[in-house]
Structure 1
Amino acid sequence: MNETKRQHPLAMLWSLWKLVKNSFAFIVFLFILRHGSASTWIMYGRIVFYVAIAFSVISIIWSWFTLRYTADDKAFQIYSGVFNRTRRTIPYNKIQNVNRHTSLFHRLFRVTSIRFETGIKGEDATFQLQVVSLSESDRLEKVVAGHMSEANVASDAVEQNGEPVTPPEHITLEEDIPSTVKEELERNVHYQSTRKDIFKASFTSLSFLVLIPILGSLYSSIKDFFPDEKVTESIVLTWLDTWWITALIITGLIAISIILGIVRTFVKYGDFQISSDRKRIYITKGMLEQTAFSILKERVQAVKITQSPMKRLLGLAEVELTTAGGLGESDQEVNSLYPFLPVKQAYDMISEILPSYQVTQEMQKLPRKSLWLRMLTPSWVWIIATGLLFYFKPVILGRDQAWWMISAILLLWVVICRFADFFHTRYVLNQNFIQLRTGALTSTLYISKREKVIEVHITRNLLQRWFGVASVQTVNRAKPVLHHTVNDISLEAVESFQLWYMDRSQNVQTR
């Protein structure tokens, strides 16, 4: 019989801290802003606040005593309540993701929080411990990982020998794990962020611009301090009157903004590590607050490699994994392997982490007639903007006829974007894989396996019929559903795509 356990006693302190944080607005209003108020409703409000806090504190203590759990041979058993006792069972084979989050609070006390997520919906879909010791967290994660690896090894043995294999009994400690399972639990580290990477990332992410809203807020606070706005303006003009003071101030602000950007990026992406074993991808990140989560490889529906203009100049790219369903951290970029990977390393990493995926460097271009089609397609943005400019005819820099210059610049920008989109758009069908690259300024390379594509749409508008081209849209199962479209490909390529997708039945196994 496995011993039932409770959360770490610090869980009560964690809940109390969250209670104080959530009640901060009421505290400020009732006891600071209305400190000397003798109003009756303020008095009753304080009484209600005291009663609510008292009940909340009792509830926190009561919940800690009544919530217990155990990890048996096949599932987590969670017990709660005293008078009305409830019991939840979460089988290990239903668990798809294991996420850890270590905030500054957790790091101070050498504890962590862990969350086990299943593929089902509802309140019983997750099992989360807000505060648990590091050793207990490691133990629970090994229990789940060991059990899943047992099932994988047994299923592989059945496929090879045609005979069922009886898995070992309950796995609780690392020394109890069979050697075949230990091999599967071994992780290969594919990437670990360095100082050079963080430095480049700070400029690529434009995080140094964080100082602009801070300066705006500071200037607004100074204006509120001085009742006369002319006083504030005179002070600023006095500072900027001398050229060397102006240069010194600008240089200092640029230096401070760059330092703040580097620090912000270092805190967010420092200690970033990507590793994997046979079945899962593991990502850890963060300096002050650490987050660790895993992605089941079989849930990966597609791979996206994105390059912004700044990243293209520095030879960097962001690799994202599109999965079937959310990963449970809506406030985290959980599907991003790393936003600032060198392009070549990104391609190599995909092949290392997902051996079943292939990245092809050589892709087919769009036919030349697609460029003419794009140039002849009306731009409604330019048409509407030109109409508004012609109607209002704004005076810019003292020029009455500046509106047509703005219209010409906008038209030139539309042409440049369309030419860049034509140049970046590439496609290739590689046996069981499809690669599509689209985008004007920011390009996106989409890679997916044929069995992961659940729908295909082929459309042709009037202009496309005249030029003998078509658009192809693929649909992948994800949350939200992933749509990816490549426009203006030749009809010969469309026919090849149809034949390629019709052979999908060779890769999809039906039961």
Structure 2
Amino acid sequence: MTEARRHHPLTMVWKLWKLTKFSFVIAMYLFVIKFGSDSTFLKYGRIAFFLFVGVAVLVILFQWLTHKYKLDDASFHLYEGVFTKSVRTIPFAKIQNVNRHTTLFHRLFNMTSIRFETGLTGEEAAVEFEVISLAEADNIEKHVASPVTGGLMTVQDGEAAAESHAEAVKPQRTVHFKPTRKDIVRASFTSLSFLLLIPLLGSAYSKIDQFFHVKQEAKGLFSVIMDSWWIAAILIVVLTVVSVAFGIVRTFVKYGKYEISSDPERIYITKGLVDETVFSIAKQRVQAVEITQSVLKRLLGLAEVKLTSAGSLGDGEDKLEISSLYPFLPVQRAYEMISEMLPAYEVTREMNRLPAKSLWVRMLRPSWLWIVATAALFYFKPRLLGFEQTWWVLSGVLLIWIFVSRWLDFANTRYVLKDNFIQFRTGSLTTALLVSKREKIIEVNVTRSLFQKWLGLASVGTMNRAKPVHRAGIDDAPVELAESFVKWYMERRKEVKME
């Protein structure tokens, strides 16, 4: 692409649509709900609303006219600014991962959005095309992934480029996981999404009451329900069925079209039934692998596998620094998938436990949470059911919970150093198993308190590139591990020639 070009014209329509969604509630209040009001505040509010919308539309137009982009064999060149011109150059080598997001709007026009994430921060964190044709997105993504192979294809070759690219890539991909109906149902209960219906109904009622004042009618209806046990029983059954159905539908919309696949170079995650998101990351860009399990997931034999990368997954609600493969994978399948997709990573089940003295250190370590909470309870002395000594009962319960939590963390903590890999598992109720390669760790630290020195213990930690940086480690490990840990990391100089 030798000449800078503007973004697709539908970008303006997309931004106007977002402006409409943002302004809808304000417009409803000013021009519908308060239609007959002659308030001075509302009068000037309407004028300000029209000025805001007018200026926003002009900004959208000028941005489309002045924002351009160009690609060469090694970099993006982004031209921006209305009065003050600026040029940003983003090397392809900085691209960490690629995120495509296709909303219903994009589907209507056979378009998509694509975002190239870097390991940088601020304005240079990403290169984003909010509306772009599928053919051009494929063309740019292919060019960024292999900038050495040659020049860009022209837009006129778009459809042929997309088809040839799809045919070239598809046979090489291996599909590792697609959720079945059983997986969807299990995920809906494991995620507790069926519990979201009642808060949503409560929020909807609150918003309706603000505009239409239905509080009195709602009180009358509630009284009728409470006076008749069979109506209350039927309502409870209906709410239960609707909540379960809501949870299943919500989970199906989110995970029904989920697919995890890979080719020799990249890992691909496709999700979303209505709004489709396709995330891809080069295998060499994976900084670490993390397997997390909550209490419920451990009981059901499920786990969530996350990939740590230097670039973020998106922005707004979709912004994730660590990309999740699938939150409800069977544990055995999770370990198998890591080996299949990332042969360079080794996950071992056999790990070392902490010595018994580590438990005593944890139990005897002061808890500032308990001290502050006890002081507050003693000062306020709350009463529960008229019981005057409630404060020390609550203090005792909190202390017991702290001891139980520390014991669980001790029991769950594991570690192992194996060749150029390191594994940490930590957590009390929710456990996290981190696996990283020595060459991907940018910093290590070893700390020892006075108490730890007396008992021959130490705390060790690692840092991986992410946004923000991803830290892991274990406390109260044997000092022998700390010594071998530092020596192990020093061997990194033989593996990394240049940062």
1:38-437 matched pairs, under 5 angstroms: 46=46, 49-50=49-50, 53-54=53-54, 56-57=56-57, 60=60, 92-118=92-118, 126-145=126-145, 147-148=146-147, 151=148, 186-217=172-203, 220=206, 233=219, 235-332=221-318, 333=320, 335-437=323-425
Distance 1:100 1:424, change over 3 A: same
Moved more, 104-113 or 240-249: 240-249
Q: Distance in 2 between matches of 1:468 and 1:73?
A: 56
User: Partner amino acid for 2:180?
Assistant: T
Change (3 A) 1:444 1:76: closer
Q: 1:32 to 1:459 in 2, by over 3 A?
A: same
- Aligned with 2:343: secondary structure? coil
CA distance in 1, matches of 2:34, 2:208: 26
1: CA distance, partners of 2:455 / 2:301: 35
The answer to whether the aligner puts 1:508 opposite 2:469 as a matched pair is: no
Q: Does 1:457 align with 2:439?
A: no
Matched, 1:439 2:434: no
Q: Deviations over 1:260-308 (max 9, x none)?
A: 1222222222211222223322221111111112223222222111111
Q: Does 1:22 align with 2:22?
A: yes
> Judging changes above 3 Å, is the alpha-carbon distance between structure 1 residues 108 and 373 closer, same or farther for their aligned structure 2 residues?
same
Which of 486-495 and 89-98 deviates more?
89-98
Aligned to 1:156: none
Distance 1:75 1:454, change over 3 A: closer
Rounded to whole Å, the distance in 2 between the matches of 1:228 and 1:263 is 30
Matching residue's letter, 1:316:
L
C-alpha deviation, 1:361, in angstroms: 0.5
Q: Residues of 2 paired with 1:222 and 1:60: CA distance?
A: 33
- What is the alpha-carbon distance in structure 1 between the residues aligned to residue 56 and residue 163 of structure 2? 43
Q: CA deviation at 1:37?
A: 5.0
| Structure 1 residue 438 displacement after superposition | 0.5
The two structures have a TM-score, normalised by structure 2, of 0.84
CA distance in 2, matches of 1:234, 1:45: 37
- Tell whether 2:487 aligns with 1:488: no
Partner of 2:491, secondary structure, is: helix
Amino acid at match of 1:430: K
Q: CA deviation at 1:358?
A: 0.6
Q: CA deviation at 1:66?
A: 6.6
What is the rounded CA distance, in whole Å, between the counterparts of 1:112 and 1:15 in structure 2?
Answer: 14
1:372 deviation in Å? 2.3
Letter in 2 for 1:455: E
TM superposition shift of 1:396: 2.2
CA distance in 2, matches of 1:118, 1:390: 51
Distance in 2, matches of 1:177 and 1:417, equals 55
| Rg comparison, structure with higher value | 1
Deviations 1:478-497 (A, max 9, x none): 22122212011122222222
Change (3 A) 1:45 1:410: closer
Which structure 1 segments of 5+ residues have no match? 152-166
Deviation string, structure 1 residues 360-409 (Cα, Å, up to 9, x no partner): 10000111122222222233333433444444443323433444433333
1:35 alignment partner AA: F
Indicate the SS of the match to 2:32.
helix
Shift in CA distance, 381/5, structure 1 to aligned 2, threshold 3 Å = closer
Residue 460 (structure 2) aligns with: 472
Deviations 1:67-102 (A, max 9, x none): 666666665666789999987766655544332111
The residue identity in structure 2 corresponding to 1:22 is F
Quote how far apart the aligned CAs of 1:106 are. 1.3
How far, CA to CA, are the matches of 2:316 and 2:336 in structure 1? 28
Q: Could you tell me whether the CA contact under 8 Å between 1:208 and 1:260 is conserved in 2?
A: yes
CA distance in 1, matches of 2:493, 2:70: 44
Secondary structure of residue in 2 paired with 1:20: helix
Larger displacement relative to structure 2 (27-36 or 209-218): 27-36
Structure 2 stretches lacking a partner, 5+ long: none
- Alignment TM-score, normalising by the size of structure 1: 0.82
Structure 2 vs 1, CA of residues 114 and 373 (structure 1 numbering), >3 Å: closer, same or farther? Answer: closer
Change (3 A) 1:235 1:117: closer
Could you give the per-residue CA deviations for residues 128-166 of structure 1, whole angstroms, max 9, x where no partner exists? 333233233333333333x34xx4xxxxxxxxxxxxxxx
1:129 is paired with a residue whose SS is: strand
Deviation track 1:436-462 (CA, whole Å, cap 9, x = no partner) reads 101000111111111222222222223
Q: CA deviation at 1:64?
A: 5.0
Tell me which of the two structures has the higher relative contact order, counting C-alpha pairs closer than 8 angstroms and 6 or more residues apart.
2
RMSD: 3.8
Alpha-carbon distance change, 209 to 42 in structure 1, aligned in 2, over 3 angstroms: closer
Alpha-carbon deviations, 1:322-379, whole Å to 9, x = none?
A: 2224344353236222222111111111122222111010000111122222222233
Query: Structure 2 counterpart of 1:108, which letter?
Result: L
Residues 219 and 297 from structure 1, CA distance in 2 versus in 1: closer, same or farther, beyond 3 angstroms? same
* 2:117/2:312 contact within 8 Å kept: no
What's the counterpart of residue 32 of structure 2?
32
